[in-house]
Amino acid sequence: MTVTANLVKDLREKTGAGMMDCKKALTETNGDLEAAVDWLRKKGICTASKKSGRVAAEGKVVVAAAGQRGALLEVNTETDFTAKNEKFIAYATTAVETALANGVDELEALAATPYPGAGRSVAEELTALIASIGENMNLRRLSSLTVTCGVVVGYSHMAGKIGTLVGLESDAADQEALRELGKKIAMHVAASTPFYLNREEVPIADLEREKSVLAEQARASGKPEAIIEKMVVGRLSKFYGDTCLVEQPFVMDQEQTVQAVVDAAAKQLGSKIRVSGFARFMMGEGLQKRDDDFAAEVAKQVGGQ
């Protein structure tokens, strides 16, 4: 019997198990839904999946970069206590290194990739870790960055609370100097939270929304429409300076923009340098966090719940 997407969906909804686990269970049981549930139970996967309803808003952002490629991964767990667990840290680190080594760009593909030395996938290894530690965990998001010529540099801030990647396109001979520049910009990204690389990458919808807000603000001052248009153009420069990476004041020298720092480095190295992309994850952003105190976290760990 063919294992359909709908069957996998039904089994996931019924058990809370991961997609790859559900697909394997249905394959092993020839598409029998109830038998697949029993198969998951026997493997201990349903026991782990019972925890899947718990909010996992803690965790760690891990970074891996080498040469012309980098990967950024957020792995969540329920408590900060577990986020500091050596097994959890080792798993997250290995998972992002696996993404980098295998050129994986999508989270679903990473989940299905073999976990080194385990004889099972990255997702299956996480299921085993959930059963071992006793907390819900999940692979939340993955980002990758590649350059054709130059370097990709990663930076981890606050013990994995923030992770960033920066790509620099350049044929500069001094790769170490290029990496040092990349690290400084990656640190800037962590501190300054840019939304776009440059003004050309600002989506039209975002730009029109900003123009509308600025125009309404200007009208509130009672200025005529001809003046309002000029005011909007002027204020857009501040918008770009706040939100576009290359136009932001450089965090280590507020007198220069990031682009000015890159241009100065290019002149010094005798080669063109272009910031080709960046990525930034802050751990748990957008997720509802639990209110458990530290004592409760410890109690859960000791009790194995």
134: left (phi over 0), alpha (psi -120 to 50) or beta: left
- Interacting residues of 299 by C-beta distance below 8 A, sequence separation 6+: none
- pLDDT value, residue 48: 54
pTM, two decimal places: 0.77
CA proximity to 81, closest of 303, 292, 305: 292
Sign of CA dihedral 203, 278, 144, 276: positive
The CATH number of 5-52, from 3.40.50.300, 3.40.250.10, 1.10.8.10, 3.60.9.10, is 1.10.8.10
Where are the chain's structural domains? 5-52, 58-195+279-303
Q: What are phi and psi of 253, to 5 degrees?
A: -160, 90
Q: 53 burial class (0-12, 13-18, 19+ CB within 10 angstroms)?
A: exposed
CA proximity to 39, closest of 62, 57, 56, 14: 14
Structural tokens at position 156: 């981890």
Sheet with 162-169, strands from edge to edge, namely 150-157, 162-169, 274-282
185 within 8 A of 85, measured Cβ to Cβ: no
For the chain, 305 residues long, the average pLDDT of each consecutive 10-residue run is 81 73 89 84 62 73 98 95 96 98 96 96 94 90 97 96 98 97 98 97 94 90 87 92 97 97 98 98 80 48 44
Distance CA 188, CA 202 (A): 19
Q: Does domain 58-195+279-303 have CATH number 3.30.479.20?
A: yes
Length of the chain, in residues? 305
- pLDDT value, residue 16: 64
- pLDDT value, residue 49: 54
